């Protein structure tokens, strides 16, 4: 590159208390406190933000144009420069990062929200597949991940015991009493703490046994964590079904330094996609993750932390391999998608969690990853750094 | 830090029809993409990234269809970004793609927008009943018609202006081989006497429902230098959003539209849009929106837009041709309609608009809007590269 | 505070999908119990066949026939089949590389239990008894012990491949998704008040505007509205249109008037039908009042109130 890029950093991150159901809140009611928290941390008002970008999905809400009413929570008046991606908010962050690079913005607000509990997420996500050959068979995301898990086991990359270890480690990391992140800056309580226990309890598997158990979404008749949902994946290998929202604030150069005394600088960010059909891909590999990581500079120096968007335990195996993460890297100290999975916000939360760790000095160089599409079809990798103290 | 100048070197669109039953969804987007690549004399391997937009996924019943389309879009191993900003999405998608070049993240980007709304019957996709909410009593036109009446009340515009716009745009469409509607026997009288659907909006003053796609290749200075045909250069681009409904909202002339236009003109150094801009492709789904947008975009003073239309200023051979392609009134694949406006503006300044070419067009505005007249995206393109 | 409301929301469409040449040939082939693949320019045979090469993006149209037998490349045991899936009894999902193909096709594999399934096992297509030209013309795969362990040979017997009489060019795929809709706390308060025929808006603590219906946030200030304000029942027609075509699912005689109505005390208009007056006598500024019918959530319509029209200046900001 002959032109120096602008320095851009994540300077604030907020997320909801992820719950199985949002207690009767609309999307905007869920989102608004998170926006206030993120802006409050950055010491900015909505009118100070140069660009706003969000990520969500009409298919999760069951309504066309569902994102338009969420804008009510932003206070878009006078009118704002704003855009929306119909996918995980991590890609909204990417769009905002590009906008800041062009010089057209110094600050950006990025948010994402998802109400995975509104529909049956296992049915909803089948609609993401090839509409001619795949969607008519209704193969759900657990089934597809299980095909991938079997391929990994056959290839000797993992076994069910190792997957159990990933599940246990992730849930333990998110449990009350696990290293509670310290707030580094900003005002008000950290939105993500504490996470509701009901969010962690609601495995996808349990909705099989106890769908619509009661109106509030509290799941009864819980299925044991070691029951197979689609073998070789057990309930514990699957993500919880959760509703939630997240927001981050991005800022360039000196603006970032004014807002935070340890901004999480985005040293590189890139995303890549693979072919759609599972039958033409080697499911044990993630070349798109590898390529995105290369382009983001992930292999230029070691990272100490990785926040991986792996909704299924087996997918962490694929990602660790693609990203060449050794045992010296702290993987998903937040608990990852296995602890809280508000679909369409989960990837953005990985970026936010990685940034928050840098903010509070727990990491100097962190990798954040987000995924979209069946079986890790599309992947985004960002490298975040705190300045050396 | 300076932005990399952005050039449009390839433009392609599909043949548009109420239902393109001859192609799959992939086949539809390929038709546009292939033409854009051919126009730029590039191959799939020359493309660094793909930015795709469309309106609601319920139209085709495929959630995030870009995942299934990755192969057809030649995106495997590349970045593929999906944008959705309601009706303005075609414009917003092009602007996101332009930013990738301007920021020097990528050198050559394919941007594409599509809708194959016949797969679901588009009106179903738009009118899924939401529990507890009062059903929209009047269909799509019923949403817009009260705003048109408000415009007429505010400006004193006479009844016939809407028909003049529809007649002009449908006649322009006869010169555009890609347009959906080709009404060879259209007369002003037929428009004026067509059934009144949502008074004051007549049948012939409404847009069709189309299947179609539009694609563009955007590139940097080096890419433009290699292009076989003259590029269109981006001089200004902006998006603005305001809430769907709020106290004080002006549906006739939304502030987000005014602010968006002002931003684009500022970037492009335009101080007198009426004189400096040679052609406009604006998003006019119902004919009365032409005079309304003429005011909103600063081409006419408040209350004066209809006078430009009535005087023939916006005709193809007028002083400020509006929608020489035939516009949304002649072709409306919803997610792609905004990109068609952007692409048609670029065709004009490239001198490649064929029979609907505006003679000597050097600067053109592409305009898109959506949602409850709340999302706006616009770009200004010119035959000459930007000087800064 | 009233209990937040929820309601079922069913999103159901029959999607009509046009297939294009390659998918048309493949699905027509299935109807004829023939499996077609497509050959890429570097000689790979893709099954199921796609129109564009996933590696090179080239358009590919070179159809070839492959066998109905193949090998499992990976699988997963599904103990609890879900709505719409190919089999009702427990089955394996499997990626199967058919003999003659280089890529694998996803479908169900009917096997007695998970112990009988393994990667590398030989399977064959079980055809659906009635076939229409759809992926479900393959009922499923079933175990096929042909004594081989590797891929068998493909046999070609249509010439040219893909040439079938009466090809399938479109498929209709129904899709139903069930949701639980949650309008939120603010709208729940509004809806609860409506049951007592009271229209309750909420005031923004910052700009003091009254929102009806309240949506939980003041959209211009981005803060929660909380102070309840009863508005109406009378209001002013700010603008309107005359509807001359029946809207889908509406059982109202045309023509009728669809209007924006600013209820007294509200800072924006809501929408309603005007009746009790000839449609061509409705006008901007007309003062109206709601007419309720038994059991309806919303007023059935609004009718003229017995008072003079409002002055344009009093409602021109509320169109």
> Quick one: pLDDT band at residue B1, thresholds 50, 70, 90?
low
| Chain B CB within 8 Å of residue C179 CB | no
Residues of C in contact with B70 (CB under 8 A): 54
Chain-centroid distance of CA A123 in Å reads 20
How much is the average pLDDT of A194-214?
34
How much is the average pLDDT of B87-96?
97
| Chain B CB within 8 Å of residue C209 CB | yes
From A382's Cα to the closest Cα of chain B, the distance in A is 14
Residues of A in contact with C15 (CB under 8 A): 131
| Torsion C208-C209-C210-C216 (CA) sign | negative
- CB-CB under 8 Å, C108 with A137: yes
Q: Is the pLDDT of residue B241 over 60?
A: yes
Q: Is A338 helix (H, G, I), strand (E, B) or coil?
A: helix
Interface subset of C 129-168, CB within 8 angstroms of A: 134-136
Beta strands in chain C (DSSP E): 7-18, 35-39, 45-46, 62-66, 69-78, 91-98, 105-109, 122-127, 138-143, 170-181, 199-203, 210-211, 227-231, 235-243, 256-263, 270-274, 287-291, 301-304
Per-chain mean pLDDT for chain B: 95
Of B131, B196, B247, the CB nearest to C9: B131
- CB-CB under 8 Å, C184 with A118: no
- Between CA B97 and CA B105 the distance in angstroms is 10
Tokens 């890419």, located at residue: B223
CA A139 to each of CA A156, A230, C18, C130: distance values in angstroms, whole numbers, following the listed order: 25, 11, 22, 22
CA C135 to each of CA A95, C30, C125: distance values in angstroms, whole numbers, following the listed order: 37, 7, 12
| Chain A CB within 8 Å of residue B382 CB | no
Of C219, C244, C248, the CB nearest to B246: C219
| Chain B CB within 8 Å of residue A207 CB | no
Strand partners, A385: A265, A365
- CB-CB under 8 Å, B73 with C57: yes
Q: Is the pLDDT of residue A203 over 60?
A: no
Q: CA nearest B245: which of B147, B153, B312?
A: B147
Of B20, B74, B124, the CB nearest to C18: B20
How much is the average pLDDT of A229-248?
95
Phi, psi at residue A182, to the nearest 5°? -90, 140
Q: Is the pLDDT of residue B272 over 70?
A: yes
How many CB pairs below 8 Å do chains A and C form together? 201
| The pLDDT of residue A172 | 93
User: What residues contact residue B362 under an 8 Å CB cut-off, 6+ apart?
Assistant: B278, B349, B382, B383, B384
Q: CA nearest A111: which of A349, A287, A271, A281?
A: A349
> Quick one: pLDDT band at residue B29, thresholds 50, 70, 90?
very high
How much is the average pLDDT of A184-205?
33
Q: Is the pLDDT of residue B86 over 50?
A: yes
Percent of chain A with pLDDT over 70: 86
| The pLDDT of residue B140 | 73
| Chain A CB within 8 Å of residue C71 CB | no
Residues of C in contact with A151 (CB under 8 A): 73-74
Q: Is B45 exposed, middle or buried (0-12, 13-18, 19+ CB in 10 A)?
A: exposed
Tokens 């599972």, located at residue: A278
Pairing of strands B279-281, A243-252: unpaired
Neighbours of chain C (3+ CB pairs under 8 A): A, B
- Between CA A216 and CA B334 the distance in angstroms is 38
State the CB neighbour count (10 A cutoff) for residue B219: 28
| Chain A CB within 8 Å of residue B131 CB | no
Q: CA nearest A34: which of A213, A245, A193?
A: A245
- CB-CB under 8 Å, C222 with A76: yes
Q: CA nearest A113: which of A71, A171, A51, A174?
A: A71
Q: Is the pLDDT of residue B311 over 60?
A: yes
Residue of B nearest to A6 (CA): B1
User: What residues contact residue B184 under an 8 Å CB cut-off, 6+ apart?
Assistant: B174
């Amino acid at each position: 590159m002959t032109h120096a890029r602008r320095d851009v950093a994540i300077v604030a991150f907020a997320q909801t208390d992820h719950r199985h159901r949002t207690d009767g809140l609309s999307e905007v009611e869920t989102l608004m406190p998170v926006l206030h928290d993120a802006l409050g941390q950055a010491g900015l008002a909505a009118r100070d933000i140069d660009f706003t970008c969000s990520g969500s999905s009409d298919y999760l809400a069951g309504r066309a144009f569902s994102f338009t009413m969420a804008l009510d929570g932003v206070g878009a008046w006078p009118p704002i420069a704003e855009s929306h991606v119909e996918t995980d908010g991590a890609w909204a962050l990417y769009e905002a990062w590009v906008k800041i690079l062009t010089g057209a913005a110094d600050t950006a607000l990025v948010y994402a929200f998802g109400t995975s509990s509104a529909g049956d997420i296992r049915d909803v996500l089948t609609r993401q597949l090839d509409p001619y050959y795949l969607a008519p068979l209704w193969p759900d995301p657990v089934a597809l991940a299980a095909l991938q898990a079997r391929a990994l086991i056959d290839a000797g990359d993992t076994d069910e015991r190792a997957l159990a270890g990933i599940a246990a480690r992730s849930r333990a990391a998110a449990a009350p009493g696990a290293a509670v992140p310290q707030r580094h800056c900003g005002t008000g309580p950290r939105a993500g703490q504490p996470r509701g226990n009901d969010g962690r309890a609601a495995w996808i598997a349990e909705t099989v046994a106890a769908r619509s158990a009661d109106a509030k979404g509290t799941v009864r008749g819980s299925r044991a964590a070691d029951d197979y949902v689609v073998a070789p994946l057990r309930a514990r290998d699957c993500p919880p079904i959760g509703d939630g929202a997240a927001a981050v604030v991005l800022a360039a150069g000196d603006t970032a330094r004014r807002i935070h005394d340890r901004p999480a600088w985005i040293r590189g960010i890139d995303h890549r996609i693979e072919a759609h059909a599972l039958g033409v891909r080697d499911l044990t590999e993630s070349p798109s993750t590898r390529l995105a990581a290369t382009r983001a500079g992930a292999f230029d120096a070691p990272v100490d932390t990785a926040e991986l968007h792996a909704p299924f335990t087996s997918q962490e195996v694929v990602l660790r391999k693609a990203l060449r993460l050794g045992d010296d890297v702290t993987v998903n100290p937040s608990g990852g998608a296995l602890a809280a999975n508000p679909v369409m916000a989960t990837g953005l939360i990985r970026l936010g969690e990685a940034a928050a760790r840098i903010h509070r000095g727990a990491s100097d160089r962190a990798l954040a990853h987000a995924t979209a599409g069946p079986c890790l079809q599309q992947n985004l990798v960002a490298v975040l750094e705190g300045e050396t103290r | 830090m300076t932005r990399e100048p952005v050039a449009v070197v390839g433009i392609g669109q599909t043949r548009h029809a109420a239902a393109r039953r001859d192609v799959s969804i992939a086949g539809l987007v390929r038709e546009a993409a292939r033409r854009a690549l051919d126009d730029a004399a590039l191959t799939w391997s020359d493309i660094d990234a793909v930015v795709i937009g469309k309106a609601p996924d319920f139209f085709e019943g495929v959630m995030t269809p870009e995942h299934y389309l990755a192969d057809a879009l030649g995106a495997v191993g590349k970045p593929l970004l999906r944008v959705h900003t309601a009706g303005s999405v075609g414009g917003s998608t092009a602007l996101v793609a332009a930013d990738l070049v301007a920021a020097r993240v990528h050198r050559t980007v394919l941007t594409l927008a599509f809708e194959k709304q016949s797969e679901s019957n588009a009106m179903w996709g738009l009118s899924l009943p939401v529990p507890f909410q009062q059903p929209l009593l009047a269909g799509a036109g019923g949403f817009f018609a009260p705003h048109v009446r408000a415009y007429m009340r505010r400006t004193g515009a006479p009844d016939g202006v809407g028909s003049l716009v529809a007649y002009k745009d449908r006649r322009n469409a006869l010169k555009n081989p890609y347009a959906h509607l080709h009404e060879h026997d259209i007369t002003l009288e037929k428009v004026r006497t067509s059934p009144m659907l949502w008074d004051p909006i007549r049948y012939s003053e409404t847009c069709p429902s189309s299947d179609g796609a539009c694609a563009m290749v955007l590139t940097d200075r080096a890419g433009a230098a290699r292009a076989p045909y003259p590029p269109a250069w981006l001089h200004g681009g902006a998006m603005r959003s305001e809430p769907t409904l709020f106290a004080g909202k002006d549906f006739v002339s939304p502030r987000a539209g005014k602010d968006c236009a002002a931003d684009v003109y500022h970037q492009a150094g335009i101080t007198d849009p009426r004189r400096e801009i040679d052609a406009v492709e604006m998003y006019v789904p119902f004919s009365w929106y032409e005079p309304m947008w003429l005011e909103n975009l600063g081409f006419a003073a408040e209350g004066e837009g209809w006078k430009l239309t009535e005087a023939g200023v916006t005709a193809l051979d007028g002083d400020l041709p509006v929608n020489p392609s035939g516009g949304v009134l002649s072709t409306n694949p919803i997610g792609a309609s905004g990109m068609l406006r952007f692409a048609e503006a670029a065709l004009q300044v490239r001198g490649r608009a064929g029979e609907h070419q505006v003679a000597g067009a050097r600067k053109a505005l592409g305009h898109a809007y959506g949602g409850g007249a709340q999302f706006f995206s616009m770009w200004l393109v010119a035959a000459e590269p930007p000087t800064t | 505070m009233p209990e937040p409301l929820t309601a079922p929301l069913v999103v159901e469409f029959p999607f009509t999908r046009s297939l294009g040449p390659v998918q048309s040939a493949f699905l027509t082939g299935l109807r004829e119990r023939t499996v077609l693949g497509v050959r890429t320019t570097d000689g790979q045979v893709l099954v199921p066949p796609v129109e564009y090469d996933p590696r090179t993006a080239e358009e590919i149209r070179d159809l070839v026939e492959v066998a109905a037998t193949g090998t499992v490349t990976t699988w997963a045991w599904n103990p609890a089949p879900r709505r719409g899936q190919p089999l009702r009894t427990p089955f394996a999902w499997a990626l199967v590389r058919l003999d003659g193909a280089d890529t694998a096709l996803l479908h169900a594999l009917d096997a007695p239990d998970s112990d009988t399934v393994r990667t590398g096992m030989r399977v064959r297509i079980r055809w659906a008894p009635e076939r229409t030209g759809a992926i479900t013309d393959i009922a499923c795969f079933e175990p096929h012990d042909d004594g081989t362990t590797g891929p068998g040979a493909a046999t070609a017997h249509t010439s040219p491949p893909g040439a079938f009489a009466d090809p399938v060019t479109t498929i209709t795929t129904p899709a139903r998704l069930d949701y639980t809709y949650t309008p939120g706390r603010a709208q729940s308060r509004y809806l609860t008040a409506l049951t007592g025929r009271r229209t309750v808006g909420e005031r923004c603590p910052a700009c003091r505007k009254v929102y009806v219906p309240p949506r939980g946030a003041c959209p211009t200030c981005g803060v929660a509205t909380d102070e309840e304000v009863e508005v109406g029942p009378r209001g002013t027609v700010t603008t309107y249109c005359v509807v001359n075509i029946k809207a889908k699912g509406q059982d109202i005689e045309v023509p009728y008037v669809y209007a924006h109505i600013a209820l007294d005390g509200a800072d924006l208009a809501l929408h309603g039908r005007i009746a009790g007056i000839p449609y061509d006598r409705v006008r901007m500024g007309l003062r109206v009042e709601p007419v309720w019918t038994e059991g309806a959530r919303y007023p059935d319509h609004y009718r003229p109130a017995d008072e003079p029209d409002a002055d344009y200046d009093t409602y021109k900001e509320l169109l």
